C-alpha cells in the first residue's frame, strides 16, 4: 500500500495529482535556461572560443575547413549565447550547482522541474546526467540531486514535517516506452533491495502514453517506487541503468540508443498543515543526435538512428511551434498548433516544454574539428529552446482527511466554549489552561 516503504502507485495518478487545478500561488513565467558543456578532448579544433563571463560562444571556421560544414554552407562565423558555459576543465560539482541546484530547490519548494541533456552521440550527455562509475567525484546530476533531496527531506522530518520520495525510470526506445524498474526485476517488491541482472528489452513492461480531455499526459503501466533513503534511490537508479539500451557505434563505444527519463516525485507537508506540496523533478538523458554516415549504422542500428533522429526532429518542431505561439497575439496565439503528439518523448515532456515546469537544458558538444557541424547544430537547438517561456506554479493541494479532522476539533472546542459560557459545564467538563488558550 501507499503507506509502506514498498508501496506502489500508478504514474498516471501521480501525474494527474501534480498537474491538475488552477495555480495556487507563486505563479511565474520563465524562459528555459540553457547551458553549454564541452567534452574534454586531446585534439581541440581551435575553431571556437568561450567567454564564460558573458556566456557567449563564437565559432570561427577557417576557409580550408569549410568542407566540415557541408557542401552548401558559405558561413564561417557563428555566435551563440547561453546562461552558463562549462569548458573542458569543468567539474561535475560545478555543473550540478549551476544547472541542477536551482532545479532541486524548485522541486523542494513545490514546483515541477526538468533538466535534459541534448547533444551528439559521445558528447557527454550520460556522463553529465548520470555520471561516471570510476570516481566518486564523477557522480552526475541524478545521484547528486538524490543526495540533496534526501538531506532536505530528513531535515524536514526532524522538524516534524512529512516528506515522501517516489522514483520512476522510463526508457523510450524506437518510439516505444519501457519501464526500467518493473516489479518482477526485484522479485515482486518495489523496495530497492537487490539489483537484478540485465533484462532483455522485450521482458520489460511497455508504457502507454495517453492524454486526457484536459490535456494532462498519463503514463500507463509505469511503476512508481517509494524510496526511504538515498541508498534505496541510488539502487533504483543502478537497477534501471543496467536495463538501458546501449550499443557500440563508430561515434561512441557505449552509445545510449534510447531516451531516458528519471523522475523524482515529492510529497511534502509541514507539521499540522492540511496543505500538501506535490512536485516532480524530471532528469532526462536524450539519445544522441547523429549523422548516420558518421556512426556507421546499418541494419537495426540504422533503424535505431532513424527513430532517434525522427524524435529529435519532432522535438525541434515542438520548440519552433512554441516560439511561434509566443510571438503571436490574441486568437492566433491560442490556435497555434504545437505537435506534442508527433513523438513519444515530446508527449512525455509536454509540461516541461511550455507548461507548468521550470526547465533547464545542458547542450553537450565535442571540441574536435570533425564534429564542428554537429556542435553548431547543437548550439542552434539550444538557442531555440531558450526562446520558450514556461508558466510554472507551486503545486498545492489540501488533504481532505487532515482538513476534516481539523474541522471536527474546532467543532469540539466550540461546543466546550458554548457549554462553558452557558454555565452548563460541570466539574467533569471543565477545561484546563491549554484548552482554554486553544478556544
Instruction: Using pLDDT thresholds of 50, 70 and 90, give the confidence band for residue 76.
Output: confident
Could you give the CA distance from residue 228 to residue 197 in angstroms, rounded to a whole number? 23
> pLDDT tens digit string along 260-279?
999 999 999 988 788 999 99
What's the distance, CA 418 to chain centroid?
A: 53
pTM of the full structure: 0.80
- State the sign of the Cα–Cα–Cα–Cα dihedral 211, 214, 215, 219: negative
Name the region of 207 (left: φ>0; alpha: ψ -120 to 50; beta: rest): beta
The CA distance from 96 to 125, in Å, is 13
Q: Report, as an integer, the average pLDDT of 149-163.
A: 94
Which range has the worst mean pLDDT, 7-21, 88-102, 244-258, 269-283? 7-21
Q: Annotate the chain with three-state secondary structure.
A: CCCCCCCEEEHHHHHHHHHCCCCCEEEEEEECEEEEEEECCCCECCCEEEECCCCEEEEECCHHHHHHHCCCCCCCEEEEECCEEECCCCCHHHHHHHHHHHHHHHHHCCCCEEEEEEEECCCCHHHHHCECCCCHHHECHHHHHHHHHHHHHHHHHHCCCEEEEEEEEEEEECCEEEECCCHHHHCCCCCCCCCCCCCCHHHCCEEEEEECCCCCEEEECCEEEEECCHHHHHHHHHHHHHCCCEECCCCCCCEECCEEEEEEEEEEECCCCCEEEEEEEEEEECCCECCHHHHCCCHHHHHHHHHHHHHHHHHHHHHHHHHHHHHCCHHHHHCCCCCHHHCHHHHHCCCCCCCCCEEEEEEEEECEHHHHHHHHHHHHHHHHHHCCEEEEEECEEECHHHHHHHHHHHHHHHHHHHHHHHCCCCHHHCCCHHHHHHC
Distance CA 90, CA 106 (A): 24
What's the CA gap between 319 and 336, in Å, rounded? 12
pLDDT above 90: percentage of residues in the chain = 49
pLDDT in tens, 171-224: 998 889 999 997 644 433 333 433 445 567 778 889 999 988 887 889 999 999
Q: What is the pLDDT of residues 269-317, one digit of tens each?
A: 988 788 999 999 999 999 887 665 455 555 566 677 778 878 888 999 9
47 and 59 Cβ atoms separated by less than 8 Å: yes
pLDDT at 19: 37
The Cα 99–Cα 105 span in angstroms is 11
Query: Could you tell me what percent of the chain has a pLDDT over 70?
Result: 77
Task: Judge whether residue 231 has pLDDT over 70.
Answer: yes
Amino acid at each position: 500500500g501507499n503507506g509502506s516503504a514498498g508501496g506502489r502507485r500508478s504514474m498516471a495518478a501521480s501525474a494527474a495529482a501534480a498537474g491538475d487545478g488552477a495555480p495556487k500561488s507563486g505563479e511565474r513565467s520563465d524562459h528555459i535556461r540553457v547551458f553549454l558543456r564541452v567534452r574534454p578532448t586531446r585534439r581541440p579544433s581551435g575553431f571556437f572560443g568561450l567567454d564564460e563571463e558573458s556566456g557567449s560562444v563564437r565559432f570561427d571556421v577557417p576557409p580550408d575547413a569549410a568542407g566540415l560544414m557541408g557542401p552548401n554552407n558559405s558561413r564561417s562565423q557563428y555566435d551563440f549565447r547561453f546562461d552558463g558555459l562549462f569548458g573542458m576543465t569543468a567539474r561535475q560539482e560545478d555543473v550540478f550547482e549551476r544547472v541542477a541546484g536551482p532545479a532541486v530547490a524548485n522541486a523542494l519548494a513545490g514546483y515541477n522541474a526538468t533538466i535534459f541533456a541534448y547533444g551528439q552521440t559521445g558528447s557527454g550527455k550520460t556522463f553529465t546526467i548520470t555520471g561516471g562509475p570510476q570516481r566518486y567525484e564523477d557522480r552526475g546530476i541524478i545521484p547528486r540531486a538524490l543526495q540533496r533531496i534526501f538531506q532536505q527531506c530528513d531535515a524536514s522530518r526532524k522538524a516534524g514535517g512529512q516528506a515522501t520520495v517516489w522514483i520512476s525510470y522510463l526508457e523510450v526506445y524506437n518510439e516505444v516506452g519501457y519501464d526500467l524498474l518493473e516489479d518482477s526485476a526485484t522479485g515482486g517488491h518495489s523496495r530497492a533491495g537487490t539489483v537484478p541482472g540485465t533484462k532483455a528489452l522485450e521482458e520489460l513492461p511497455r508504457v502507454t502514453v495517453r492524454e486526457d480531455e484536459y490535456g494532462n499526459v498519463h503514463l500507463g503501466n509505469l511503476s512508481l517506487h517509494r524510496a526511504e533513503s538515498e541508498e534505496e534511490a541510488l539502487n533504483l537508479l543502478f537497477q534501471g541503468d543496467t536495463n538501458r539500451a546501449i550499443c557500440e557505434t563508430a561515434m561512441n563505444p557505449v552509445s545510449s540508443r534510447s531516451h531516458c527519463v528519471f523522475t523524482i516525485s515529492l510529497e511534502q507537508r509541514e507539521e499540522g498543515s492540511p496543505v500538501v506540496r506535490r512536485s516532480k523533478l524530471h532528469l532526462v538523458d536524450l539519445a544522441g543526435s547523429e549523422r548516420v554516415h558518421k556512426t556507421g549504422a546499418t541494419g537495426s542500428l540504422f533503424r535505431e538512428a532513424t527513430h532517434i533522429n525522427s524524435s529529435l526532429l519532432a522535438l525541434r518542431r515542438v520548440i519552433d511551434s512554441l516560439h511561434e505561439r509566443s510571438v503571436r497575439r490574441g486568437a492566433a496565439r491560442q490556435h497555434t498548433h504545437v505537435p506534442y503528439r508527433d513523438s513519444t518523448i515530446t508527449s512525455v515532456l509536454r509540461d516541461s516544454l511550455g507548461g507548468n515546469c521550470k526547465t533547464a537544458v545542458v547542450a553537450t558538444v565535442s571540441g574536435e574539428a570533425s564534429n564542428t557541424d554537429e556542435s553548431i547544430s547543437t548550439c542552434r537547438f539550444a538557442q531555440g529552446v531558450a526562446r520558450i517561456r514556461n508558466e510554472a506554479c507551486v503545486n498545492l493541494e489540501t488533504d481532505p482527511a487532515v482538513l476534516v479532522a481539523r474541522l471536527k476539533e474546532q467543532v469540539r472546542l466550540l461546543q466546550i466554549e458554548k457549554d462553558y459560557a452557558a454555565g452548563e459545564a460541570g466539574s467533569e467538563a471543565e477545561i484546563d489552561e491549554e484548552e482554554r488558550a486553544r478556544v
